[in-house]
Structures are given as structure tokens and as C-alpha cells.
């Protein structure tokens, strides 16, 4: 997908704005999973999620091309923080469209980064349609949640993981729109590793799992998961193409399994995860028998969850969407 020179440029740009994030083997998590588990802490970025890397790189590239006009995008929160984070560094204005009922804390974080926030639609896909319409009406450039420069930026986290952990047997990666798992596939292939990549979706937002199985984009009628980073109804065809060529399989996890993995992270690593951020560990725990004794990576894609929902998780419950 990318050349070594392209990755090196992305690394220079990303690391000018943030340091690499850590990856640790937590003994309590390894004991629970029955294997060596490398946890990639993308909840330790400046916005608490991996997507900031793509935002930093893409906005810098726009500036270098002289594309300095206003941009607009749609989000449930982490992509909507990554774009204004990168845009603020190069002086580009950002408008964000988020669906009604979106996380108040993520909305506040996007505004704090200087974005104008518009609430529209009942889910991510309706917000995306609104953002595209506003782009045409107001002469803004629409930024999709998946694109080559976004993927190249986030590939840097996967390269860090493989550089530190070496040739892992399997890496579990949550799937929202697909940039995270595509970045892992790109880094693995660039390094010539045989690591198996397993995508993870929520059972209530299983569009990518269905699409992977059927070999074509399959939309769903709903995406009612509290793991809002994975709450997508309509897969991106380009992302699906890469995932079908580079991933071994895509598994689904339940809401209760996600909440259980969040509690395990808190007990075993004293770390905060959002629903999507814990999905990879939930999948590993679901498949622990087949991973016994292996070297496995799990990606914490983010840690941005509202306080009330996290309180529900810590109390042993499962939040509502």
C-alpha cells in the first residue's frame, strides 16, 4: 500500500506533533487471556485516540498542497477531534457534523479544539450525508472518515507496535470506518511479517463483518452499540477491499463482552478505554482457546467515553447506546 519513504514522511510529520505511544505486556491481562498480550495504547495520544495521527498527516498534506480553505467532516467523536487537531497546526478552519445524541464529552472536546459543531441526523451515516450537503452549499472541502492519507498517518502506530513486539502471531483491531485495521495491514505487509490480522465489530453494528463474509459492501439498518467508534451502518468499499485482502477474518463481540473487556483493562492495566477501544480485547477473550500460548497484539483505539457510561461499566453493567 505504501512505500518506506512514504511511511518515513508520515512519521516525521506525526512525531513533530506527538510522541510514539507505548505498548505493554500487562501480566494480569496475559493471565486472563492465557497468552502473551501486547497492548497498544492509542488511548495515550493527545486526543485519546489513534485517529489523531491521520488528522495530523492529512491536514499537513493539505497545507503543503495549498489546500487551505475550510473543511467539513462527520463523526461520532474521535475523527472529529483528529481533524481540528491537525488543522489547528496549519491554520485551516473546521466544521464538524455529529448526530443528535452524540457524546456530550466528545462534543465538548471537538469544540475545545476550535471546530464549529453542527448536530444533525440520528446516526453517523445521516450526519455524513448532512456534512456532504453543507460542503456543496458553502464551498467547503468534505473529508471522509477513510482515505489514503488518513490510513498512512495511522499506519505509524502499527509500525510502532511491530517494531517493539516483533512478529506477533495475531493482532486484533477494532473496525469503525477501517483506517485503523488498514494501517495494521499496511505496516505488516511493509515489514514482511506473517502476523494474522483479525478485525472486530460490534454485534449491533456488524456491517463490516457481514460485508467481509459476503465479499461486497453490506449496509445494515442500524448500529445501536454503545461502542460509538464502531457504530457504522455503511462500509467504505475501499476499506473493505483492503480488509478482505489483508485480514484473516472479522469477528463480532457483544455489548456485554465489550463492557467486560473494559473492566479487565481497568483491573489489569489501570487504563481507561471506550467501547471500541476495548473491542479487540473482547474478541481475544472470546477466542482465548485458539490463542493459548501465542503472542498476540490488541489495539486500544481510544479511551474517550463519557463518565456516566464508564461508571455503569465499573459497576458491572453495560451502557445503553
The 10s digit of each residue's pLDDT in 162-182 is: 999 998 999 999 999 999 999
Same domain assignment for residues 122 and 190:
no
- 0.85 exceeded by pTM: yes
User: Which of 142, 177, 203 is the C-terminal boundary of a domain?
Assistant: 142
Q: What share of the chain is helix, strand, coil (3-state, %, to 5)?
A: 50, 15, 35
Task: Extract the C-alpha cell encoding 121.
Answer: 441526523
Cβ atoms 202, 228 nearer than 8 A: no
Highest mean pLDDT among 71-80, 221-230, 243-252: 243-252
Residue 78 and residue 166 in one domain? no
pLDDT at residue 1, rounded to an integer: 84
If one compares 240 and 76, the residue with the highest pLDDT of the two is 240
Same-domain status, 36 and 133: no
Q: Is 202 part of any domain?
A: yes
Count structural domains, the chain: 2
Burial class (CB in 10 A: 0-12, 13-18, 19+), 318: middle
Band (pLDDT 50/70/90 cuts) for residue 319 is very high
Mean per-residue pLDDT over the chain, rounded = 97
- Could you list the residue range(s) of the whole structural domain that residue 270 is in? 4-50+148-314
- Quick one: 40 and 95 in the same domain? no
Residue 92 neighbours by CB under 8 Å, 6+ apart: 59, 62, 63, 68, 69, 70, 71
Average pLDDT estimate for 176-194: 97
Strand, coil or helix: 189: helix
pLDDT band at 76 (very low <50, low <70, confident <90, very high): confident
**Residue 320, in any domain of the structure:** no
How much is the pLDDT for 196? 98
Amino acid at each position: 500500500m505504501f512505500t518506506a519513504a512514504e511511511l518515513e514522511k508520515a512519521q516525521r510529520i506525526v512525531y513533530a506533533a506527538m510522541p510514539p505511544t507505548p505498548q505493554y505486556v500487562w501480566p494480569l491481562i496475559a493471565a486472563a487471556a492465557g497468552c502473551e498480550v501486547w497492548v497498544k495504547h492509542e488511548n495515550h495520544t493527545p486526543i485519546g485516540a489513534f485517529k489523531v495521527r491521520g488528522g495530523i498527516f492529512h491536514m499537513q498534506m493539505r497545507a503543503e498542497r495549498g489546500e487551505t480553505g475550510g473543511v467539513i467532516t462527520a463523526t461520532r467523536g474521535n475523527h472529529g477531534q483528529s481533524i481540528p487537531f491537525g488543522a489547528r497546526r496549519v491554520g485551516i478552519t473546521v466544521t464538524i457534523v455529529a448526530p443528535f445524541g452524540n457524546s456530550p464529552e466528545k462534543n465538548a472536546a471537538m469544540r475545545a479544539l476550535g471546530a464549529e459543531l453542527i448536530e444533525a441526523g440520528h446516526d453517523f451515516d445521516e450526519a455524513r450525508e448532512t456534512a456532504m450537503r453543507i460542503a456543496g452549499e458553502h464551498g467547503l472541502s468534505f473529508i471522509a472518515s477513510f482515505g489514503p492519507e488518513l490510513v498512512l498517518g495511522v499506519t505509524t502506530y502499527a509500525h510502532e507496535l511491530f517494531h517493539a513486539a516483533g512478529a506477533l502471531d495475531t493482532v486484533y483491531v477494532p473496525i469503525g470506518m477501517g483506517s485503523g485495521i488498514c494501517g495494521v495491514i499496511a505496516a505488516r505487509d511493509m515489514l514482511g511479517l506473517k502476523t494474522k490480522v483479525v478485525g472486530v465489530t460490534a454485534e449491533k453494528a456488524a456491517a463490516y463483518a457481514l460485508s467481509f463474509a459476503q465479499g461486497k459492501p453490506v449496509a445494515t439498518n442500524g448500529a445501536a452499540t454503545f461502542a460509538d467508534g464502531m457504530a457504522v451502518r455503511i462500509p467504505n468499499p475501499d476499506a473493505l477491499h483492503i480488509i478482505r485482502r489483508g485480514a484473516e477474518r472479522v469477528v463480532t463481540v457483544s455489548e456485554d463482552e465489550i463492557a467486560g473487556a473494559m473492566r479487565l483493562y481497568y483491573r489489569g492495566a489501570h487504563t481507561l478505554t471506550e467501547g471500541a477501544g476495548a473491542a479487540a480485547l473482547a474478541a481475544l477473550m472470546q477466542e482465548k482457546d485458539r490463542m493459548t500460548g501465542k503472542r498476540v497484539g490488541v489495539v486500544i483505539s481510544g479511551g474517550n467515553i463519557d463518565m456516566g457510561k464508564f461508571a455503569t461499566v465499573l459497576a458491572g453493567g453495560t451502557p445503553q447506546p
